[in-house]
Every structure is written in structure tokens, then in C-alpha cells.
Amino acid sequence: MENKTVYLNGDYLPLNEAKVSVLDRGFLFGDGVYEVIPAYSGKLFHLQDHLLRLENSLAGIRLANPHSREQWQAILQPLLSGVGDEYIYLQITRGTAAKRDHAFPADVPPTVFAMGSPIAPFAGRDTGVKAITLDDKRWALCNIKAITLLGNILHRQAAVDQDAAEALLVKDGIVTEGAASNVFVVIDGVLLTPPKSNQILPGITRDVIVELAAKNGIACHETSFSLTDMQSASEIWVTSSTREIIPVVELDGNAVGDGKPGPVFHAMNAIYQAYKQSLM
């Protein structure tokens, strides 16, 4: 394994020297939150938005933020090589208590871990990917970016088992999001994405796309839509920090539109890539 430098509880050290107690509540209970922050040419992308989401996730699990935004930037920046496309993985748990107990421990410092990694190119951006639909069986607080991801993992694995790249989740007939992504559809030439609620993660890439669409004359609405609506869409996309915008060209074995990435995707992807370049 590459022995890169990581951050753990105030220290920068080689990955193989980074150790966490087996009594850490992240290990025992999944009691923690995380962020994934992309960086391009050494510049963290929309860092303030990611830190705001981190603050909201920490508040959602009643865990005090251990650092200010300025301190977070100072902690994370040294983990970047400054070369190419990278991302920071940041995880905060409620820390290590003296015993295993469901109740919050008193006076226990959180465990803070962060590392940088390169973003591997994803070929599906050019060709499109397959997706399946599944009933959304996760918990009711999907707006918290919690490390308790077993529901998401099982949904994503179900997609992988069917040679698909993503599972698009449906609750009571309404599309929510992907197992590890937000979802957009194009219906009658209009770009739609589910509104923010406790049923979806408020994706930073999602928000950037909504903002860029408004600035570039692409009709876009944050509104609920049904599985039936999605099945009639001319385009479907999934978005995330590390994969950016990925067109879905096959859903549940049926072609989406003409089975190729569509014109609205091509327009938005060009806008998004130009926007990234403008920040470097």
C-alpha cells in the first residue's frame, strides 16, 4: 500500500503508522460524519460549501466542530500534492470512550482523520453508464453525511451485481437520489433534480450545477419527480464530487433517450469543466 502522509488527531504521519483504537465509536457504532472535497491543481473546490455541510452534519449528530474553517483549511492543504485532480477524505467520529455504551460519552475528544488521494478518471463520463432502480430502504436522515453507509453500500452492490454503475433510489414512488450520488433528469427540455430535504444528501456538485444552469440559460428546477417521470426522461445524470457529471444511458435494461449522452449533458459538462478551469 502506498505509504502516503495522512492527518490523525493533530499529527501528520505515514499511513501505516496511523492507528485508531478498537473502542473508537466510529468503529463500534458508525458514530461519525465525513466529507469528500475535490481539489484541482492544489486548490480545494468549493471548500466553504463543503465545510458548511460538515458543520450541518456535525450539528445533526450533536457533535461539536473541533476546528474553525480557517483551521480546517490549514489542516487539509498540506495533504494535497498540487498535481492533477485529487480529493480529501475527512472523517470525524465521537472519539474513544472507556467502555462501549450507546449513550454519548462525556469529555471525550473526537477522532479526526484526513487523507488525500488522486481522482481516477471515470470512463463513463464519455460513454454513459447503466443504472437500476431500487426501493430506498435507508434511514430518514440522509441529509447527514454520516459514516453509517451500510444501506448505501447494499444498494450500490446490488447495482454492481447487475453490471450497473449506480442504483437510483425510489421512496413511495418518488425518486430521491443515487446510492452514492445525486440525480438529475431532462424532461421536455427542462433539467430537474429533487429538492433538498432529509431524504437526500445536499450534494455540492449538485448545487454547482443548479447555479451554473441558472447563469447559462439552462432551464433547471428543484422539484420532486416520480419513477414514471424518470422512465420517460430524455436524459438522466448522476453527480458526485469525484465523478462530477455522469450520463445514464440505460435504466433497468431500457435505453434512456437514444441510448447516448444527450445534448443537455454535453452543454452542462462543457460549462462545468470551464468553470473548474476558471478556479485554477
- What one-letter code names the amino acid at 172? D
Interatomic CA distance for residues 115 and 4, integer angstroms: 8
Task: Supply φ then ψ for residue 104, to 5 degrees.
Answer: -60, 135
Contact (Cβ atoms closer than 8 angstroms) between residue 55 and residue 47: no
What's the Cα-to-Cα distance from 246 to each of 110, 260, 261, 273, rounded to whole Å? 35, 12, 9, 13
Distances from the Cα of 42 to the Cαs of 65, 155, 156, 191, 259, in angstroms?
25, 33, 30, 32, 36
Starting at the edge strand found earlier in the chain, the sheet holding 11-14 runs: 11-14, 5-8, 111-118, 85-93, 32-40, 43-44
Q: Which residues are catalytic?
A: 145
The DSSP string of 175-190 is EEEETTBEEEEEETTE
Per DSSP, the residues of 229-270 read HHHT-SEEEEEETTTEEEEEEEETTEESTTSS--HHHHHHHH
